Amino acid sequence: MVSAGTTPQSRSVELYGLLACVRLTAFEQRAADAGRAASYEDTVVLAGLATGAFAQFELLRDRLIEAGADPYEAMRPFQEAITAFHERTRPADAMEALTKVYVADSVVADLYREAVETADSATRTVVRESLADSGHAELLRERLRAAAENDPRLASRLGLWARRLVGEALSQAHALAEGHPAVGALFGEEDVATMFGRIVDRHQARMWAINLRD
């Protein structure tokens, strides 16, 4: 999937641009969801997640600048696809917004952490830091677990929502790999279906951890 014109540095710039776009858009979405939340508890969780996403964006922006790239130009090729993903997966309420973070962020993190295993150590470090837990993962798990235990009807709805989110996240990852050489290069020679299978297994384990069945 790698074109002849790409270099290790240009591939890193493209990858960091993608992830910077992902984290900045995550910040925007979570901040908006926090403003619409119906409870202080959900506002606090979503606002904290927004803050973490912005800090990760800043890390990627700084790495792009260090590489001599314009971070906003590096992000631009991915803006339409990332925005479209969020338009397709717009949550109906705060609980769907929390589930979206729990599911989609985890799937994306699993995907790119696996994909960069064969990259150079500097790239692996940046990617892992940009996708690391911002310190709110346990709070998010507890909020979703309590909601599922207290309302079986809500649990059923969120399980269906989670299934849709996984499909959308994996479809987007595949499309980005096909359309962008540096992103496609991350997957190397491994069967993408096998990688996706491992990611889905981890997703299902996370769903069981909060008493949801997708």
191/183 Cα distance (integer angstroms): 15
pTM: 0.87
- Residue 1 belongs to some domain of the structure: no
**CATH of residue 133:** 1.20.1260.10
pLDDT, position 89: 95
Q: How confident is the model at residue 5 (pLDDT cuts 50, 70, 90)?
A: very low
- Residue 214 belongs to some domain of the structure: no
- 53-93 per-position pLDDT tens digit: 999 999 999 999 999 999 999 999 999 999 999 999 999 99
What does the pLDDT average to over 157-185?
A: 87
- Residue 26 belongs to some domain of the structure: yes
- Residue 22 belongs to some domain of the structure: yes
pLDDT, position 188: 63
- Residue 97 belongs to some domain of the structure: yes
What does the pLDDT average to over 149-156?
A: 94
- 176-192 per-position pLDDT tens digit: 888 887 777 776 656 67
Range of the domain at 120: 8-209
pLDDT, position 2: 40
Angle at 54 between CA 142 and CA 166, to 5 degrees: 55
- Residue 72 belongs to some domain of the structure: yes
- Residue 23 belongs to some domain of the structure: yes
120 exposure class (CB count in 10 Å sphere: 0-12, 13-18, 19+): exposed
- 33-47 per-position pLDDT tens digit: 999 888 998 899 899
pLDDT, position 3: 43
- Residue 115 belongs to some domain of the structure: yes
Domains in the chain, number: 1
For residues 148-162, b (16+ Cβ closer than 10 Å) or e, as one string?
beeeeebbebbbebb
Assess whether pLDDT exceeds 80 at residue 136: no
